[in-house]
Amino acid sequence: MFYFKGKWSNEYPIIVNRIIRGILSPISRDFLEIPARPGAFLQNTKRGLNAFKVEITIHHEDVEEYNTLIRDLAGWLFSKKAEEFIIAKDPSIKYYAVLEGSTDLNEIVTLGEGVLTFVCPNPDGQGPLKGITINDTSDPSIDGIIANNGTAETFPKFIAEITQLTTSLSIVSSEYHVTLGSPDNVDSTPVPPRERVFNETMSSTTGWTNGSSVDEGTVGGTFTTDGQNFIPNGFGTGNSWHGPAAKKSLTTPVQDFMVEAVMDNDNSPVASLGRVELYLLDENSQVIGVMGVKDSWKNEKTNTVYFRAGSLNNGTYILNGYGSKKTNYNDFYGYLRIERVGTLWTVYVARIDANGNHFVEWSKSFRDSKNFYTARLAQIQVHFGQYQTYTPTTLRVRDINGYKINDLSSTQIPYIGQPGDIFEIDHIVKKVRKNGELFSDIDLSSRFFALKNGNNALEVYPKNVAIVSAEYRERYL
C-alpha cells in the first residue's frame, strides 16, 4: 500500500503486489585519471533521482466500472508537481514524487496488471517535524544543541520571539552564522528608528470624531466595533460613494512618518461593491495622503489597491491597481503601509495568509521633487464606503499604527526588534521574515546553513534578547 497526492492506494480497488526500491538513489562518480599513475582521483559524487516501482493489479466485475476506475486512477496519479508519497511499511518517512514513464496495463477483460514508477526529484526522505528551544532568556541551562539523527543534512527554520530591544540577532553554528541588523558596540548608540505616535487596536470608538469629507462621496452612517475591529454600522444614502468616516489625532504632529494598517475588503459575492480607506490629514483636516482597497466593478469581482500623496484634486497616485492579475487582492485580508521621509514616499501592500506571512507583495516609491506634499501628519481618518444601493462588501479595519521616523546619525544604530516581534529565519528557502514581512537587514557575511548528522552546537547572540526555537525534519538518504 502507498500514499500519494492525499490518498492511500486502498481507497481504490487495486492490489499492490510489490514495491521495489533501492537502498540509495543511483550514485555516479567523476574520476580523474593521471597518466602513468595507478588508479584515479575521485573528483565528484552525484546522487540521482530516487525511484519506487509499484507493481499493481486492478480488477472490477463490471466492464463499465472497470473503465471508470482507470479514468479515476489517471486523475489521481497525474500531477505537474512533486506530491507527498509514503509507503505503508515505512509510514513515518515521506518523499515528494511524480509519476514517471509508461503506465501500460496488461489487460484480460476486467483485470489489469502494470507497474507505476514514482520518481523523487529530491531523493531524500523526510521524517516528522521536530521542534526544540535553543535559547531562552529565562532558562540559561539550555545548551543550544540540536541532535540530527537522520542520515543526511537538513535545513532548519528558527523562530525568534524578541523579549527586549535589540540592534541585532545572530544564530551561529560551528562554521557559519546568520546575523540580522548590526551588533551594538562602544562607539555607537542604539536608538529606535521610529517612535509610535498612534496606536489603535480598534477595540473602542472612544476618542474618534466624525469625519467631514471623503473622496468622490458623502459621509453617512456610523461606525461600531466588535471588540477587535472597526466595522460599519450603516452607510447612509447617496448617489455615489457614501458611508461612515471617523478621525483621530496623533499624540503629536510629525513630518517624517509611517502609517500601517491591517484591514479587510471581502468582495464576495461578485455583485458587491465597497471600499475601505485611511486618510492622512494635516492639522487643518486637509488630506495629505490616502491608502485603501476598493471593489468598484459592477459585474465582476476585482479589488484594487491604491496609495496617493496629496488630495484627490492635486494628488499623485503612487500605486493604483491590482498588479499582475485581477484576482490578486480579492477577498482581501492584508496589510498596507505608507511612509514619507523628506520628499520620498514609499508604499507597500500585501495579503496575509493563515500563518501570518505576507504574500502578493507590492511596493513602490515616489519622489516629491517639487515639494507639493509636505504638510505635517496630524490625524488619521477611517472610511467605509458603499456605492449607491449596491450590496456592500464586508469591510473591517483591524489595527492602525502611526510612527514618527527618526533621523539617525552615523554613530547611531537602529533597533531591529522590540518585545513581541517575531523573526522567522528559514534556512530552507533562505529568507528572513519579521512579523510576516520579508526582512532584508542581513549582514553580508551571513550564510544559511544545514544541520549536520549528529549533534549541532548553536549559539544565539545576544543571549538575553530573544527566545529562539528551531523546527526541522530529519532527512534520510
Which amino acid appears at position 12 of this protein?
Y
**Spatial CB neighbours of 203, under 8 Å, sequence gap ≥ 6:** 225, 227, 228
What is the 3-class SS of the chain, one letter each residue?
Answer: CEEECCEEHHHCCEEEEEEEECCCCCEEEEEECCCCCCCCEEEEEEECCEEEEEEEEEECCCHHHHHHHHHHHHHHHCCCCCEEEEECCCCCCEEEEEEECCCCEEEECCEEEEEEEEEECCCCEEEEEEEEEEECCCCCCCCCEEEECCCECECCEEEEEECCCECEEEEECCCCEEEEECCCCCCCEEECCEEEEEEECCCCCCCCEECCCECCEEECCEEEECCCCEEEECCCCCCCEEECEEEEEEEEEECCEEEEEEEEEECCCCCCEEEEEEEEECCCCCEEEEEEEEECCCCCCCCEEEEEECCCCCCEEEEEECCCCCCCCCCEEEEEEEEEECCEEEEEEEEECCCCCEEEEEEEEEECCCCCCCCCEEEEEEEEEEECCCCECEEEEEEEEEEEECCCCCCEEECCECCCCEEEEECCCCEEEECCEECCCECCCCCCCCECCEEEECEEECCCCEEEEEEEEEEEC
Task: Clarify whether residues 158 and 249 are in a common domain.
Answer: no
Do residues 77 and 44 share a domain? yes
Residues 375 and 428 placed together within one structural domain of the fold: no
Same domain, 281 and 337: yes
Burial tier of 343 (Cβ tally within 10 Å: 0-12, 13-18, 19+): middle
The whole-number pLDDT of residue 286 equals 96
CATH number of the domain that residue 34 is part of: 2.40.30.200
Of the three residues 385, 405, 425, the one that is the final residue of a domain is 405
Same structural domain, 398 and 419: no
| Displacement of CA 444 from its chain's centroid (Å) | 23
What does the pLDDT read at residue 363? 97
User: pLDDT at position 61, please?
Assistant: 87
Beta-bridge partner residues of 195 = 404
Give the list of residues 6+ apart from residue 66 with CB closer than 8 angstroms, or none. 58, 59, 60, 110, 112
Task: Let me know whether 117 and 147 are in one domain.
Answer: no
Q: Which domain holds residue 155?
A: 127-193+411-476
Q: CA triplet 325, 326, 332: central angle to 5 degrees? A: 110
Strand partners, 333: 264
Tell whether 132 and 103 lie within a shared domain.
no
- Residues 258, 377, single domain; the answer is yes
262 and 243, same structural domain?
yes
Question: Which regions in the chain score pLDDT beneath 50?
Answer: none
The pLDDT score that the predictor gives to residue 417 is 96
* pLDDT tens-digit readout, 38-87: 999 999 999 999 999 999 999 988 999 999 999 999 999 999 999 999 99
Which of 369, 397, 179 is CA-nearest to residue 277?
Answer: 397
Residue-wise pLDDT tens digits, 160-191: 999 999 999 999 999 999 999 999 989 999 99
Whether 186 and 256 share a structural domain: no
Task: Mark which of 356, 387, 405 sits at the end of a domain.
Answer: 405
Q: Across the strands, what pairs with 162?
A: 466
Residues 131 and 119 in one domain: no
Amino acid at 372: F
Specify the pLDDT at position 109.
86
Residues 9 and 150 in one domain: no
Domain boundary among 387, 405, 423: 405
CATH number at residue 471: 2.60.120.860
Backbone angles phi, psi at 434, to 5 degrees: -120, 115
Q: Total domain count for the chain?
A: 3
